[in-house]
Amino acid sequence: MIINSVIKTLLEHKSIREYKDEMPSDEVIRTIVRAGQQAPFAFQAYSILLSRKRERNPFKAPLLFTICIDYHKFEQIMTRRDWKLITSDLVLLFFGIQDAALMAENMVVAAQSLGLGSCFLGSAMFRADKIAEEYRLPPKVFPLVQLAMGYPAEEPPPRPRYPMDFTLFEDQYPKLTEEMIAEAMRVMDEGYLAQDYYRKRNAKIPLEGDRKETYTYDNYSWTEHICRKLGQWFPDPKVLLEQLEKRGFNITKRNG
């Protein structure tokens, strides 16, 4: 594989949950956000909220960025141009998710190149109403993801990824054989077990319903962890739909 400074930075990425007391300078913060802005975009349909309140931030991180999908700005611009927004909220959200996610990833990479670490917090969308209240967000602004960030006080190894042949498919999507699936599961599970990842975090997800617990931290790993999430959590879209509607997005109605 080709290695240069950019590739090395990307391959060394890991989530950081312990941070030094040092507060990044305004110059560092502005550099990270400016690098984020240079990500590919559809509409630049994002805004960034910043908290430096360590005692309230997750993991007591010096910085907490909240990356929002933002069409409030567009409504203001369109009003000045004598246009009305009629694109459906579902289309707006898909483009906004792209814009905000790419922005966040650029910020992560930029921060790492400057010696900082970060941790993605994907639960922001389920607390959108509370975040909106805290930051006084206008309608059509939806918190998508948060980034805890600061100078690392830990040095965990990068977490495993799927094998390349379970990820890159050329010309057509293949029939996934039992061997391919088993190998992908093995790579992920053995990689996490080698790091003792879930035991260190005491992160086993409890079983719901009639399933009997048969796993210990000696064999509980990534594939079981993810299956417990996707096999138990959020079967009803109502919670997220309500959060979207509170922020002015209704994906089942026509705009205009």
Helix and strand numbers (H, E) in the chain are: 9, 4
pLDDT at 245: 96
pLDDT at 69: 98
Q: Across the chain, what does the average pLDDT equal? A: 97
Handedness of CA 85, 86, 92, 95 (dihedral sign): negative
> Domains (ranges, CATH) in the chain?
5-155+236-246 (3.40.109.10), 164-230 (no CATH)
Non-local CB neighbours of 247 within 8 Å, separated by 6+ positions: 128, 129, 132, 137, 139, 140, 141, 142
Split at pLDDT 50, 70, 90, the class of 211 is very high
pLDDT at 90: 96
Split at pLDDT 50, 70, 90, the class of 256 is confident
Q: Is the pLDDT of residue 55 over 90?
A: yes
Q: Is the pLDDT of residue 45 over 90?
A: yes
Split at pLDDT 50, 70, 90, the class of 163 is very high
pLDDT at 181: 97
Mean local confidence (pLDDT), 23-36: 98
> What are 77-121's pLDDT values in tens digits?
999 999 999 999 999 999 999 999 999 999 999 999 999 999 999
Query: Which residues of 59-214 form beta strands (DSSP E)?
Result: 63-70, 117-121, 141-150
**In this structure, what is the dihedral angle of CA atoms 122, 91, 132, 123, given to the nearest 10 degrees?**
-10
pLDDT at 252: 87
- Percentage of residues of the chain with pLDDT beyond 70: 100
pLDDT at 120: 97
Q: Is the pLDDT of residue 129 over 90?
A: yes
